[in-house]
Amino acid sequence: MNLAIKDIRHNLGRFVLTSVGIGMLMMIVMGMSGIYRGIIEDATLLIDNIGADIWIVQHNTRGPFAELSRVPQNLIHRALAIPGVVTARNFVQHTIQRRNKGKRLRMTVVGLDWPIDKGKWVPLVSGRILNQNHYEMIADKSLDLRLGEKIKLGKNTYTVVGITSSMISSGGDGIGFFTVQDAIEIQFDTSGEAVRLERISRSVRVEKSDLGLKQPSLIEFASQESSQVPALASPQASSVILKLGPGANLKQVMNIIAGWEDVSVYTSEGERQLLLKGSVEKVRKQIGLFRILLTFISAIIMALILYTLTLDKLHSIALLKLIGASNWIVLKLILQQALILGILGYGIAYFLGQKIFPRFPRRVILSNDDLLQLAIIVLVISVVSSFLGIWKALQVNPNEALN
């Protein structure tokens, strides 16, 4: 006869409520690791999927995922000249916050070097990739934009032609994919008045200089569009990403680029690690510590619950001992209840997690490794937390049944 089951059956309501409580606590522990996994996954999804072997970034910076990086767009031509490089693409990334349909729209803008990169690697849920160099975008579904929807960013209006999912930046914002040209346009969007004022001030600067006095035509030239002024550099990209051909020597290509003094170079894995050790590292530590704390709290709460459950049964335990039950029978009763409580709590945590976590604003990923690790922790907690109850039960004297 399984005394643990019999006792649970008799106090089913209380036991179920206790299990639900433990389950919810465990769900938070489970969620913590899920949130951590989600952050890692979200942060690295872009790097893992974009299909780059090498990232060229601004000199002495750690790339667009760690800090601001600026490289000239024409860097791709230099990169393409290196033996073994198959493709070189400009990459632009920046975060914007605008209003759309009266609601806040916060989005990480990623520029794809169209037509080399039309976004074929972006996992689409619906719609299509970017078919033209302007005014189209692929939106992550967390941005709450619908297929065919038009949004105005700066002076231009962009049509959502594709919807993707799980494309989140390390900051937790949904990603919108545009062409590099559009992404730069969005980033450096300035009002008509600002453009006019800049042209005037440019002309004034030329007028004041000797050059303007010697060559008056320059004054007229300076008042033209920025793109028409050769002295002004075109807007810069965040980085240039390279894809190497089969058999290309990664180390050799890296060494060549490392010799250029205006840029820094990382492998895709290097950029990934920089990302993880940068913005994600503190989050990881914070969540890790919180998870450890919660695990301890769960163990203490479980120990107290099991101790209380044991206290309720002291008379029955004394009686069992009086009629000759061995300590093992008593120990088994408490240990089995602890394990049932732990397993049930774990099951409830998993079930509730499956229902609740998808509603979280950020992804909560329950990996099999994490679930297994938590299951082992729960088993250990269940056994350890039953020690207090077992100790109390073993102290019970059969005499106490007579009182």
Cβ closest to other proteins, residue 8 vs residue 57: 8
Identify residues 277-316 at the interface with other proteins (CB under 8 A): 313, 315-316
Distance of CA 396 to the CA centre of its chain: 53
Sign of CA dihedral 386, 387, 392, 396: positive
Give the nearest distance from C-beta 329 to other proteins in angstroms: 7
Position 14 contacts other proteins (CB under 8 A): no
Asked if residue 326 binds other proteins (CB under 8 A), the reply is yes
Q: Which residue, 85, 93, 88, 87, is CA-closest to 75? A: 88
| Nearest residue to 57 via CA among 70, 47, 44, 67 | 70
> Between residues 354 and 399, which has the closer beta carbon with respect to other proteins?
399
- Other beta carbons within 10 angstroms of residue 292's beta carbon come to 12
**Residue 2 or 209 with smaller CB distance to other proteins:** 2
Binding residue count for other proteins, defined by CB under 8 A:
23
Positive/negative CA dihedral, 231, 235, 240, 245: negative
Question: Which of 322, 340, 371, 388 lies at the binding interface for other proteins (CB under 8 A)?
Answer: 322
Q: How far apart are CA 274 and CA 270, in angstroms?
A: 6
State yes or no: residue 398 binds other proteins (CB under 8 A).
yes
* Member of 230, 246, 324, 361 binding other proteins (CB under 8 A): 324
Q: Shortest gap between Cβ of 382 and other proteins (angstroms)? A: 20
With CB under 8 A as the contact rule, the residue among 211, 343, 388, 401 that binds other proteins is: 401
Is residue 131 within 8 A of residue 118, CB to CB? The reply is yes
Report the residue number, 143 or 338, with the smaller CB distance to other proteins: 338
Phi/psi of residue 102, nearest 5 degrees: 80, 0
Q: How many CB atoms lie within 10 A of CB 225?
A: 9
Residues near other proteins (CB under 8 A): 1, 3, 6-7, 9-11, 313, 315-316, 319-326, 329, 398-399, 401-402
